Chains A and B, each alone.
Chain A
Amino acid sequence: MIEILAERFNFIIVIILMMTGLYAVVATGNLVKRLVGLSLFQTSVFFLYITIGKVFGGQPPILPEYSEGHGGGDTYGGDVVAASDYATDAAASSVSHADAGHYAAEAIYSNPLPHVLILTAIVVGVATLSVGLALVVRIRETYGTIEDEAINQADYAIDSARRNT
């Protein structure tokens, strides 16, 4: 049991962070603090995805075809191939593609798919956070407060005033 949890230690940290964010959303009355908690929750979900994609002994998913110095010593050969490829020789370029496929088969890379998903999720997350904050600003201008209990009471007061007249 302990062994099972020790091998999946990252997921436990993710769960604790997720619950911290959830607590902030449920317990706090302040709307800005709730959005902060939601952003905390969102970041912990990003950790969950990236942790699943990690491979032990792997490298970041960038192939050594045209760049210098990624990975071990054998990629210096890739540098020479890239230099000759810039002479736009079709034969040399096909060699470099085969070499790159060879390098890709030799080295171990982490899974690139979760990275792609989370990349867009981060930017979309900040865009939707800004919409939420714009709503909070408008609420503040209308009600004069951003505590949810005070807003509810203001709404009840308006409703009962409308019902009594």
Chain B
Amino acid sequence: MTEFDWTQLLDYALMAMLLAVGIAIVRLRNLFAAVMLMGVYSLISAAWFVSLDAVDVAFTEAAVGAGISTVLMLAAMLLTAREAEPVKAIRHWAALIVVSVAGAALFYAVGDMPVYGDPNSPANSYVGMDYITSTPNEIAIPNVVTAVLASYRGFDTFGETVVIFAAGLGVMLLLGLNPGKKKGDEE
């Protein structure tokens, strides 16, 4: 990196905002504010995903994180509680110790990770790049991510569709779709 890349400034600004919002979410006791800040966090992370060249992922994160997830958590917050109780001091320090130890271990491992943006790292060398070169010949659609998702890795997407269906079943079993009728005589 001999000359300064001005787009890195955008990355730094987004990272700083993410850190600030993340720490604010943890420290807030008002759940309404925390849920709203989660929506903000999702939007900023969608912007950072675009900066990292992951446009499909940014699209999904903006739609799911800032849209559905915020509505969901707001509904759950309405049904449960508006404020969280303050954290006791001993629990706060114990959690800080656990988090510091885990964080230190992860920091120690950062040295082994590939350099950011390296085109010859093991992750970028084998199957991933083969998908790009073989998609025009075998599937002939321009969006490589959809080609991999629906055709090369169709099994995995099938499994994930079933997982989403199972989660929907779980919520239907736990809460029920027409609870208004049964509220009077719940068992």
Tell me if chains A and B make direct contact, with any CB pair below 8 A. yes
Give the docked Cα–Cα distance between A145 and B72 (Å).
Answer: 19
Majority secondary structure of chain A interface residues (helix, strand, loop or mixed): helix
| A137-B19 contact, Cβ under 8 Å, with A15-B103, A61-B145, A104-B136 | no
Check A19/B132 contact, CB under 8 A, given A119-B149, A130-B167, A136-B76. no
Chain A minimum-CB-distance residue to B138: A97
Interface residues on A, range: 35 or more
In the complex, what residues of A have CB within 8 A of residue B23's CB?
20
Q: Does B13 contact A (CB under 8 A)?
A: no
By size class, the interface of chain B is: 35 or more
Could you tell me the distance between the alpha carbons of A65 and B69 in the complex, rounded to whole angstroms?
Answer: 35
B59-98 with Cβ < 8 A to chain A: 60-61, 64-65, 68-69, 72-73, 75-77, 79-81, 84-85, 87, 91-92, 94-96, 98
Q: Check B142–A65 contact: CB distance below 8 A.
A: yes
Name the prevailing secondary structure of the B interface residues: helix
Q: How far is the CA of A62 from the CA of B38 in the complex (A)?
A: 30
Nearest 8 CB-CB pairings of A with B:
A127-B167, A27-B95, A56-B117, A30-B84, A111-B128, A133-B76, A100-B136, A113-B128
Listed in ascending order, the chain B residues whose CB lies under 8 Å from chain A are: 11, 15, 18-19, 22-23, 25-26, 31, 34-35, 38, 41-42, 45, 48-49, 52-57, 60-61, 64-65, 68-69, 72-73, 75-77, 79-81, 84-85, 87, 91-92, 94-96, 98-99, 102-103, 106-107, 110-111, 113-119, 121, 123-124, 127-129, 131-133, 135-137, 140, 142-145, 148-149, 153, 156-157, 160, 163-164, 167-168, 170-171, 174-175
